[in-house]
């Protein structure tokens, strides 16, 4: 038997293994614990009913009778949506499908903010999905600001346990007077209690955006957006905004005018949303042990004195 014939089976096997590793990147394929699907408890609204164009109009497309929005980033512009209402607490969720391929520097965000009304002391609750280089993971980043505390980011970063580019996955925020909780596919990954020194209290709008975060998003800005891979397109659907719709009376007195949730479940005042269930605590512990790659509370090189809530 010729030499090449004896080596062929191993060579084919080795090539197959390398191909699988390269194509799958470093995505962690875990099976998460069972949890209550909060996204099944509240009504979903068409994007066209709940949101208006924020910027990049030509890069926004609505399909399926306004229930799906595709937002695009290219060299000319990013794009974004803003909720038609402002909210004082609630449950907010979007099913998002991220851009495929190399996406270094790209940021897809689903977040609450009131920077338009309070430019010097705004609040913000962020979900930011950070693009990758060399076929590595998208990163799920969370952050909380209050009263303009932008110089003290409270970031926590997580790997995902699935490929977020092949289908839509749910990314959700629960915000009420008790705590802020971040969810991925209904699994809680972070809880930010009200007793923290920083906690958003002012009404906020909800935003869905895609933009160029070259200066910081991927390895601290080491890998900027490569527009040879553009356009980058993110798809948003199954939008949920359930809570207290904010309004003003006489331009001075704030009112919670209505709760846009026809069910008996209340994410603002309901006791079942005041604390995490035992099932949710177990799931959050799993996510933080398996998937968290950064927490500001452990960054002693960044903070000589850790923020008070870290203690």
Catalytic residues: 124, 128
Q: Are 133 and 219 in contact (CB under 8 A)?
A: yes
Cβ burial of 9 (10 Å; 0-12, 13-18, 19+) is exposed
Sign of CA dihedral 297, 272, 94, 114: negative
> Is the bond preceding residue 231 a cis peptide, omega within 30 degrees?
yes
Gap between the Cα atoms of 125 and 171, Å rounded:
13
Gap between the Cα atoms of 243 and 260, Å rounded:
6
Q: Which two tokens stand for residue 143?
A: 């952050």
Q: Are 114 and 202 in contact (CB under 8 A)?
A: yes
Q: Are 87 and 111 in contact (CB under 8 A)?
A: no
Q: Are 307 and 297 in contact (CB under 8 A)?
A: yes
Q: Which two tokens stand for residue 215?
A: 């200066």
Q: Are 159 and 293 in contact (CB under 8 A)?
A: yes
User: Closest Cα partner for 90 from 278, 281, 246, 197?
Assistant: 246
User: Closest Cα partner for 55 from 204, 211, 226?
Assistant: 211
- What is the distance of C-alpha 277 from the center of its chain? 22
């Amino acid at each position: 038997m010729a030499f090449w014939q004896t080596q062929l089976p191993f060579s084919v096997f080795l090539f197959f293994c390398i191909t699988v590793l390269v194509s799958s990147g470093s995505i962690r394929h875990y099976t998460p614990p069972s949890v209550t699907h909060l996204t099944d408890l509240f009504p979903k609204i068409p994007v066209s009913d709940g949101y208006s164009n924020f910027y990049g109009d030509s890069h926004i497309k609505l399909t399926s009778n306004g229930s799906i929005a595709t937002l695009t980033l290219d060299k000319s512009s990013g794009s974004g949506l803003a909720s038609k209402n402002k909210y004082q607490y609630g449950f907010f969720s979007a099913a998002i499908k991220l851009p495929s391929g190399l996406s270094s520097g790209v940021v897809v965000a689903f977040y609450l903010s009131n920077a338009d009304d309070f430019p010097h002391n705004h609040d913000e609750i962020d979900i930011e999905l950070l693009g990758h280089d060399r076929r590595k993971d998208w990163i799920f980043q969370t952050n909380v600001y209050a009263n303009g505390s932008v110089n003290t980011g409270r970031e926590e970063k997580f790997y995902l346990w699935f490929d977020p580019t092949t289908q839509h996955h749910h990314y959700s925020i629960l915000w009420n007077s008790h705590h802020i909780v971040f969810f991925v596919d209904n699994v809680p990954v972070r809880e930010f209690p009200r007793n923290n020194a920083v906690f958003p209290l002012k009404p906020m709008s909800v935003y869905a955006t895609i933009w160029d975060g070259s200066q910081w998003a991927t390895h601290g800005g080491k890998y900027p957006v490569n527009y040879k891979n553009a356009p980058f397109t993110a798809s948003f659907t199954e939008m949920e905004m359930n809570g207290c719709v904010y309004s003003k009376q006489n331009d001075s007195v704030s009112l919670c005018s209505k709760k846009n949730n026809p069910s008996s479940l209340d994410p603002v005042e309901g006791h079942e949303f005041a604390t995490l269930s035992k099932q949710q605590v177990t799931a959050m512990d799993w996510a933080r042990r398996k998937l968290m790659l950064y927490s500001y509370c452990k960054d002693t090189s960044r903070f000589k004195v850790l923020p008070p809530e870290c203690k």
